[in-house]
Structure 1
């Protein structure tokens, strides 16, 4: 069961990939089926049940796209 919930503000994502690179669980990926208003493929959570709520993704995001809530 998940211990964290990640909320993405996808329209602000510039697909820099820092959150994907630094996620210790490797559960963040680019959404190849969506293009946001900036013209990028935003990041999405591939396996929400695996998120431990560590918050590394939110800390690495330079554009404050990610909000992490611990359960």
Structure 2
């Protein structure tokens, strides 16, 4: 059986750095970047992508719909 991993894509221009996704992530995948977007906000990014399980908690709590969650098949070595 193929294992499934999660992956998120953050629209950095929509993200206002509220941090709700950071708190909602059960596996501590998301952090706020030190860089800022064109509006001056520290945007969310995947700090620990290998830990993402694709639970969609981050996407559900995002007030700006800036996060898209994908489930991908994990490549077995």
TM over 0.5: yes
TM-score, structure 1 normalization: 0.91
Which one has a larger percent strand, Structure 1 or Structure 2? 2
Distance 1:55 1:61 in 2: 10
Q: What's the Cα RMSD here? A: 1.3
Aligned to 2:64: 63
Q: How many residues align?
A: 70
Deviation at 1:70, TM superposition (A): 1.1
Indicate the structure with greater helix content: 1
Compute the displacement of 1:2 (Å). 6.3
1:51 paired residue number? 52
Would you say the 8 A contact 2:7–2:52 is kept in 1?
Answer: yes
Q: Is the 8 A contact 1:31 1:44 kept in 2?
A: yes
Per the TM alignment, residue 55 of structure 1 is displaced from its structure 2 partner at its CA by 0.4
2:33 match: 31
Larger gyration radius, structure 1 or structure 2: 2
In the alignment, structure 1 residue 42 sits paired with structure 2 residue 53 = no
Give SS of 2:31's match: strand
Stretches of structure 2 that go unaligned for 5 or more consecutive residues are: 73-77
